[in-house]
Structure 1
Amino acid sequence: MCLLRHFLFSLPIWVLCLSFFSVASVIKSEESSIVFASGSSQEIPLSQASPQMGAQSPGPPIVKVVFREDLNKKILIALIVSSTLLCVTVLLLLYLLLWRYRNLKNSFSGIQQKPDSVKSVATKPIVHKIDSVRKGTIPVYDYQLLESATNKFSDSNVLSRGGRGCLYRACLDEKSSVTVKKLDGCGETDIDKQFENEVDWLAKIRHQNIISLLGFCVYRQTSCIVYEMMQNGSLESQLHGPSQGAGLTWQLRMKIAVDIARGLEYLHEHCHPPVVHRDLKSSNILLDSDFNAKISDFGFATVLMTQNKNLKIPDRASEFILDGKVTDKNDVYSFGVILLELLLGKKSVEKPSSEPESVVTWAVPKLSDRANLPNILDPAIKGTMDLKHLYQVAAVAVLCVQPEPSYRPLITDVLHSLIPLLPVDLGGSLRIL
């Protein structure tokens, strides 16, 4: 295709050259009709002029040029042929450009949409702001398809509920299931910016512990993001939902912690420039059928050491409140909070009848008491782990939630501390005899 395009673009030049040489050859062929004459009316061909000149009078010869009568006809034919070739070439070029434009336009849509969902007035301003849509890398789902796949977003298909929306199980067909996050508050400036930010980031990031983006949908006042299927919903729903963490053994909890740490290490150490999530919490950790943990919800994500004043940053680490600094240590603090949730089974912020209490404020003073530590664990895992491993995980959690950011470890160091506590068959290095 590339060679064909180059050939077609260079064809007009070849046609013009061919036209020039055609006309020139016609004129050249007529030069053979130049004859010499010496006063008589007899015409002598040029090829016979020299031997006969001696028999003529010694006076200067007279050169007489005679053109054939069909010269103008040949020039006219040559011009007509050249013009025809030029017109055909221009038409081919126009066809090629039109074909190329249609291909690019079709690639943007990803999945064919119905006219009413595409032409929605509320859709265009948001969709056109997403860089990855302009580049044609993300499919745009039809709202009616997602609505049908979730049985009109029924409660029976809810995987988990978060702060800004719900996760739904969606069956697109008999063999294809996906997770749909339906956002609340669409049309509000902050929500729209978070939506745009998440779609753009997830289009760029690929890692086994980062949620895979399959597409999105914007229809009127509703925005949806389509993820890979995450059968077990969010970590928050597993820990604090109806089951109260009963399905999460000690080993599964350590696996989830290691998975989250690996995802954060990728963002902090292997993305260029480094990425800070800024909203890491148990509701944003999704679990597949094998309890592989994946980080989702990149609405607040940003490049390291930069700030977006138009986004409201959630209050996670204390430095957010004090000076608004954004570093990778903010994510380390949030990881420490999740680790405390995994250990204690408590929410990050408990809301009793009095004032809300942070799990950090409640737990840190108690974690230093080794004798009492097993008594404050989540009842679902009490007595199921090696105490040495428990003490090490508690120590890591305390370091991660230090008030001073410089005292917190790098996420790489955290990961290396946890991997030896996880069995080999779950992705760690612990060999159980």
Structure 2
Amino acid sequence: MILTQKSICQEGMRESTMAVQGMLVLQLMLVVVVLVSTAIAAPTTVALKEHNCMQSCGNVIIPYPFGVEENCSLDEHYLITCNESKPYYGNMPILNISYEDAELRVMKLIARDCYNQSGSPLSNNSDAKLTLPKFSISNTKNKFTAVGCDTLGTIEVSRNNDLATTGCTSRCSNSSYVDDGICSGIGCCQSSIPRGVGNNYISLGSYKNHTDVWDFNPCSYAFVVEEGAFTFSKSYLRDFNEERLPMVIDWAVGNMTCQNAKTSEVSYACGFNSDCYDRENGLGYTCKCRNGYQGNPYLSDGCQGMDELHVGFIMLDYIAYGAFLIIASSGCLAEINECDDSNLNMCVHKNKCENKPLGNYTCHCPKGYHGDGRSDGEGCTANRFLIIQIVIGFFVGATAISICSSWLYWIFRKRKHIQLKEKFFRENGGLLLQQKLSRQERSTQDVMKIFTSEELKQATNNYDKSRIVGRGGNGTVYKGILGENREVAVKKSNKMVDENQIEQFVNEVVVLSQINHRNVVRLLGCCLETQVPLLVYEFITNGTVCDHIHNESYGSAISWEIRLRIAAETAGVLSYLHSAASVPIIHRDVKTANILLDDNYTAKVSDFGASRLVPLDQDQLATVVLGTFGYLDPEYFHSGQLTEKSDVYSFGVVLAELITGKKAVSFHGSEEERCLTKFFLSALKNDRLFQVVDERIVVEGNAEQLKEVANLARRCLKVKGEERPTMKQVAMELDRLIMKQIGKHPWAKTELNHEETQYLLGETPTAYEFGGNSNTIPGYDSMGAHIVVPILDGGR
């Protein structure tokens, strides 16, 4: 029997169709079984309850926690009345109940108040009371509204037994002011509802019982209405026939927060796959299904995933499509290449699709991955070794990036720090100072050293608080230890150098560094790599004269002989600064706190922070007044003219302090003793010197000497500078008194140090020469009232 190609094709189609029909029947039977089993297994909103509860009333669905019967609702507050297929909440018809938004939409009665033409009331429906013990009127979806041209509408609300009243008023003499379609406040007014309002009482009032507007507005109306559900019309002024309007009620579960409800012994209302949310309008909480789930969250398993029916329809689609492919593969239809159309294959990687005969295809995974390669199957999973490689590569890359970033950041910071130090060095006159020091004709060891910021940072242990030895209004003094355990004092100022006076600042530093007087704290060097210059001085160990005179913790008081020698040494320093230095220097802050003592009670004058260099062609300088109260020259204070006699006045106060043992300014004694200068001069004038002498001084044998020193102090304290002696005269007078004292003491004739004897007798000018005493003990300089930074005037 010879078969044509057409008959073969038809035969093949017939067989294929029969095969497909058989497969469809089997697959449809499987789908029906699956759907039936799913339907049986899927919970319904009411079947999960113990009783067979009504799910609706009329066309309104009643979802749990609401119910028509007592055993079908959460409690009596959620009980719905179903009357003639119409649901009611209390006496209010229900439009719908939403568990997604936790809202209950009802129809609420309108309050009305009508009058006849003479003003007598016609209706007795002016009040409307609503009691919601569990729920609250929605404050976001409702408005309190009053309609009328002689209307006062109020709503009295209660919450937690607290009463409050709100509302609005509307008055108009005719309807021409009224806007149709808009509740603008004339003819119709609105106000917002407060949060958490459950119980409320609506009242209507009238100013003239509508007598003046009766012809077009005989009634007033008030109501709470869902926003957007009421549109005002002018015709409502004459006749408003509506009995009820929609209102939204917010409902919730319980009367506690979510956190408390989850831990409470009372049953927690939210089911599986749901989340709890605190109620914003009143007490309680609401429940919502999580993302990817839908259903009633108040049922134990009411939140479900994908609808099983939808899955069944998807299966039917695949069955029909498979039948089509089988028919096509019979050869009567053209072969379809699923790999050419991305919509026809389920491969994760479309370029890894391999077409097969009879309408089939295979998906592959790229190298390093395994699986069936289908989006509806296993997909492609990375091999474990590949994952390890990726993780290791990630951590190695992250570590390398971190190291490189840290290294680059460190280099950047280091470079920026170096640039900043170079900038400060230039701004503080470092280049100029280096140039001037290079011209000095002194030996290398005597030239002032320029320290680096790192040296001083290390010497002071990074400026540790324990290294602070002095603190003043302009800065701080730290004890530093350089190489070979050499102790120094590092002074850190609070004030920057004026850029317009850098050259003069450098000159002062150079001149002060050359002062090598045995009774002057020596300036050893400076550091200009910081924002404010750091100055380095020798370190003095035995405190200040102020400490020894006024601080009892220093033990026994210094004797008169030592006080006289301290005065002579200090006077010698000031005399040298005024007349013997290469450039005259006015100290400007002479006081006992700036006179340091070494272990041998040798005086060391310090704190040149307020000092001024005096040009050789000038006798006085006009400067900003600077000094310490109690020691300040009154003539300089009033005129601003700084002279050498200003130091003389301050030294006179120091002499008075050495004699009396009293502070320059004191607020503890009588008013007469507050100012030492005034107190001391008054005592001399009234011949009461020995009544004010420090009780720790032995007067016997020193009476005549005390008188002479007191008279010298009085001359130094003259108000007019021209009447004061010079420091050279003061120094000579004190040297004479010491020489006279030495002649009286037997130790002067025996074992007196030759060098010290020469100094005390004035035989050699060693106290006024450079070089000083090679045995000078290094020490520190007290801050006193000023930071020790050589500056150009009081402004720095």
- How high is the TM-score relative to the length of structure 1? 0.62
Distance 1:259 1:399 in 2: 19
Q: Which moved more, 1:264-273 or 1:120-129?
A: 120-129
Name the aligned partner's letter for residue 305 of structure 1: D
Contact 2:491–2:536 under 8 Å retained in 1: yes
Distance 2:495 2:642 in 1: 26
Aligned to 2:683: 366
Contact 2:428–2:533 under 8 Å retained in 1: no
Q: Deviations over 1:296-343 (max 9, x none)?
A: 23333221524254x543372111123222222111111111111222
Contact 2:468–2:477 under 8 Å retained in 1: yes
Aligned to 1:236: 546
Q: Deviations over 1:78-109 (max 9, x none)?
A: xxxxxxxxxxxxxxxxxxxxxxxxxxxxxxxx
Distance 1:146 1:204 in 2: 22
Distance 2:434 2:606 in 1: 18
Aligned to 2:613: 302
Q: Secondary structure at the match of 2:760?
A: coil
**Deviation at 1:399?**
0.9
Distance 1:259 1:376 in 2: 24
Aligned to 1:127: 429
Distance 1:340 1:130 in 2: 43
Residue correspondence of structure 1 range 168-183 to structure 2 within 5 A: 168-183=478-493
Contact 1:197–1:298 under 8 Å retained in 2: no
Q: From 577, 590, 593, give the equivalent of 1:283.
A: 593
Q: What is the count of residue pairs matched by the alignment?
A: 314
Contact 2:621–2:642 under 8 Å retained in 1: yes
Aligned-residue sequence identity (percent) comes to 32
Name the aligned partner's letter for residue 359 of structure 1: L
Q: From 447, 464, 475, give the equivalent of 1:165.
A: 475
Aligned to 2:527: 217
Inter-CA distance 135–192: structure 2 relative to 1 (3 Å threshold): closer
Contact 1:267–1:276 under 8 Å retained in 2: yes
User: Which structure has the greater CA radius of gyration?
Assistant: 2
Residue correspondence of structure 1 range 268-279 to structure 2 within 5 A: 268-279=578-589
Name the aligned partner's letter for residue 579 of structure 2: E
Q: Secondary structure at the match of 2:428?
A: helix
Inter-CA distance 255–162: structure 2 relative to 1 (3 Å threshold): farther
Q: Secondary structure at the match of 1:215?
A: strand
**Deviation at 1:273?**
4.7
**Deviation at 1:277?**
2.0
Q: Secondary structure at the match of 1:413?
A: helix
Distance 1:235 1:368 in 2: 27
Residue correspondence of structure 1 range 12-31 to structure 2 within 5 A: none
Give yes or no for the alignment of 1:255 onto 2:255: no
Q: Which moved more, 1:328-337 or 1:183-192?
A: 183-192
**Deviation at 1:244?**
6.1
Aligned to 1:292: 602
**Deviation at 1:192?**
8.4
Name the aligned partner's letter for residue 727 of structure 2: I
Distance 1:166 1:237 in 2: 18
Inter-CA distance 162–282: structure 2 relative to 1 (3 Å threshold): farther
Distance 2:466 2:419 in 1: 25
Contact 1:346–1:359 under 8 Å retained in 2: yes
Distance 1:384 1:150 in 2: 48
Aligned to 1:10: none
Contact 1:349–1:358 under 8 Å retained in 2: yes
Compute the RMSD of aligned alpha carbons.
3.6
Inter-CA distance 235–317: structure 2 relative to 1 (3 Å threshold): same
Distance 2:540 2:663 in 1: 22
Contact 2:453–2:530 under 8 Å retained in 1: no
Aligned to 2:664: 348
Distance 1:127 1:160 in 2: 26
Contact 1:389–1:421 under 8 Å retained in 2: yes
Aligned to 1:45: none
Q: Which moved more, 1:350-359 or 1:124-133?
A: 350-359
Instruction: Kindly indicate which of the two structures has a greater share of residues assigned to strand.
Output: 2
Aligned to 1:27: none
Distance 1:129 1:334 in 2: 37
Distance 1:222 1:401 in 2: 37
Aligned to 1:313: 626
Distance 1:132 1:211 in 2: 23
Inter-CA distance 146–178: structure 2 relative to 1 (3 Å threshold): same
Q: Which moved more, 1:373-382 or 1:239-248?
A: 239-248
Inter-CA distance 223–173: structure 2 relative to 1 (3 Å threshold): same
Q: From 636, 640, 645, give the equivalent of 1:324.
A: 640
Inter-CA distance 264–330: structure 2 relative to 1 (3 Å threshold): same
Contact 2:429–2:502 under 8 Å retained in 1: no
**Deviation at 1:365?**
0.6
Q: Deviations over 1:244-295 (max 9, x none)?
A: 6835222221111111111111122223453322222223223233222232
Give yes or no for the alignment of 1:267 onto 2:583: no
Distance 2:460 2:690 in 1: 42
Inter-CA distance 360–121: structure 2 relative to 1 (3 Å threshold): same
Q: Secondary structure at the match of 2:539?
A: coil
Distance 1:197 1:385 in 2: 48
**Deviation at 1:360?**
0.8
Distance 2:502 2:674 in 1: 31
Contact 2:592–2:654 under 8 Å retained in 1: yes
Name the aligned partner's letter for residue 361 of structure 1: K
Give yes or no for the alignment of 1:334 onto 2:645: no
Inter-CA distance 385–254: structure 2 relative to 1 (3 Å threshold): farther
Inter-CA distance 130–162: structure 2 relative to 1 (3 Å threshold): farther
**Deviation at 1:375?**
3.4
Query: Is there any run of 5+ residues in structure 1 with no aligned partner, and where?
Result: 1-114
Q: From 751, 760, 779, give the equivalent of 1:428.
A: 760
Q: Deviations over 1:94-133 (max 9, x none)?
A: xxxxxxxxxxxxxxxxxxxxx8498253343113386466
Aligned to 1:407: 723
Aligned to 1:418: 734
Instruction: Kindly indicate which of the two structures has a greater share of residues assigned to helix.
Output: 1
Name the aligned partner's letter for residue 254 of structure 1: L
Distance 1:365 1:409 in 2: 20
Name the aligned partner's letter for residue 613 of structure 2: T
Distance 1:184 1:195 in 2: 16
**Deviation at 1:397?**
0.9
Q: Secondary structure at the match of 2:570?
A: helix
Name the aligned partner's letter for residue 706 of structure 2: L
**Deviation at 1:187?**
6.2
**Deviation at 1:214?**
0.7
Q: From 148, 155, 161, give the equivalent of 2:458.
A: 148
Q: Deviations over 1:227-256 (max 9, x none)?
A: 122112333333334536835222221111
Q: Which moved more, 1:128-137 or 1:343-352?
A: 128-137
Name the aligned partner's letter for residue 644 of structure 2: D
Structure with the bigger RCO (C-alpha within 8 Å, sep 6+) is 1
Q: Deviations over 1:122-145 (max 9, x none)?
A: 343113386466434431223333
**Deviation at 1:373?**
2.7
Give yes or no for the alignment of 1:378 onto 2:680: no
- How high is the TM-score relative to the length of structure 2? 0.35
**Deviation at 1:411?**
1.5
